[in-house]
């Protein structure tokens, strides 16, 4: 016979540990903070072990650290088991996390094609430079940008390169533009908020292009702002070939003669690659197909 503490207390502890917050756990469970605190204390008293350190921030004790991942995985498996016999999943909402630039420049121009084929599947897009905690924030899929190496729960969608482009309105007609065409204009640049990634470097590109001119650089704090400045003709920009592909295809911008610097990879990340939800399976396959088509 299994010896299991009251499930409400177990569920309350798992939610607090996952969110590292009593109030967030209470919101998820639709009960009061006092009720969650009481349930967790009830569990601690029954086990004779302290599971949480309470203070300005909630943290796990060594015993809590041992217990939490086992309970988390157990609840995930229970949810997956009921998903197998639940109602048709096409009505499920999919939670997708990615960067603002990728959402605006790659996903948005294509998402209408998915909606046309699967109108009953709702996709919520969470666009932020902050690295989302998939489990704590209930994110189904994330598209992350960085080195190509991938973990077992990740799959590389495609890799990009950094190319120099300029708005068509300021480019010469009848030929491919060169960097010399923009003497007197500033070069546009941005810095990523992720300190582990180096944003594309104009000095490297100019050296490989054997450009002798001295250019000033106009810096933007957001990649999306630099892309908007590019399309408004404020100057050339060195940016991701993936993010600018759509604008090149429709003629809004043109690629400058010159090198393509090595870039990074866009990786598809998920908690459970074998997730049974049909809607998630369909959306994941659509992303892979679109990535293959644009690669």
**pLDDT tens by residue, 46-68:** 888 899 888 878 889 999 888 88
pLDDT (0 to 100) of residue 276: 59
78 and 17, same structural domain? yes
Regarding whether 257 and 172 lie in a shared domain, the answer is yes
Same domain, yes or no, for 97 and 137?
A: yes
**Domain with 49 in it:** 7-85
Whether residue 172 is found in the same domain as residue 118: no
Structure tokens at 243: 């993010």
Residues 181 and 238 in one domain: yes
Strands 217-220 and 237-240: unpaired
Residue 236 and residue 98 in one domain: no
Q: What is the pLDDT of residue 274?
A: 47
210 and 271 together in one domain: no
**Cα–Cα distance between 163 and 161 in angstroms, integer?**
6
Query: Do residue 145 and residue 275 come from a single domain?
Result: yes
Domain-located, residue 2: no
- pLDDT at position 169: 95
* Strand, helix or coil for residue 199: coil
Same domain, 228 and 209: yes
Give the end of a domain, one of 47, 69, 85.
85
Long-range contacts of 202-207 (CB under 8 A, 24+ apart): 202/238, 204/261, 205/162, 205/164, 205/238, 205/258, 205/259, 205/261, 206/179
| Tens digits of residue pLDDT in 271-285 | 765 455 788 889 999
Last residue of a domain, one of 32, 62, 85: 85
In a domain, 1, yes or no: no
Mean pLDDT check: name the lowest of 13-17, 122-126, 171-175, 187-191. Answer: 13-17
Q: Within a domain: residue 240?
A: yes
175 and 255 together in one domain? yes
Please report which confidence band the pLDDT of residue 107 belongs to, taking 50, 70 and 90 as the band edges: very high
* pTM recorded for the entire structure: 0.67
- CATH number of the domain that 98 lies in? 3.40.190.10
- Number of domains forming the structure of the chain: 3
């Amino acid at each position: 016979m299994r010896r299991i503490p009251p499930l409400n207390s177990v569920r309350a502890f798992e939610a607090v540990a996952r969110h590292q917050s009593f109030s967030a756990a209470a919101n998820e469970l639709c009960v009061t903070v006092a009720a969650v605190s009481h349930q967790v204390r009830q569990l601690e008293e029954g086990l004779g072990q302290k599971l949480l350190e309470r203070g300005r921030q909630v943290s796990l004790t060594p015993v809590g650290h041992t217990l939490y991942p086992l309970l988390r995985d157990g609840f995930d498996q229970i949810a997956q088991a009921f998903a197998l016999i639940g109602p048709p999943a096409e009505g499920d909402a999919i939670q997708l996390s990615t960067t603002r630039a990728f959402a605006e420049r790659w996903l948005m121009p294509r998402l209408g094609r998915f909606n046309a084929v699967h109108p009953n599947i709702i996709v919520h897009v969470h666009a932020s430079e902050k690295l989302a905690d998939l489990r704590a924030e209930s994110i189904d899929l994330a598209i992350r940008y960085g080195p190509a190496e991938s973990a077992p729960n990740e799959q590389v969608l495609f890799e990009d390169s950094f190319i120099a482009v300029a708005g068509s309105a300021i480019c010469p007609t009848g030929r491919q533009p060169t960097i010399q065409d923009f003497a007197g204009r500033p070069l546009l640049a941005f810095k990523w908020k992720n300190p582990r990634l180096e944003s594309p470097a104009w000095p490297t590109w100019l050296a490989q292009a054997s450009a002798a001119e001295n250019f000033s650089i106009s810096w933007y704090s957001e990649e999306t702002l630099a892309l908007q400045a590019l399309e408004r003709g404020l100057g050339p920009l060195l940016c991701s070939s993936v993010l600018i592909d759509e604008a090149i295809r429709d003629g809004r911008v043109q690629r400058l003669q010159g090198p393509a610097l090595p870039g990074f990879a866009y990786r598809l990340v998920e908690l459970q690659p074998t997730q049974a939800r049909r809607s998630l399976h369909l959306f994941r396959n659509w992303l892979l197909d679109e990535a293959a088509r644009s690669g």
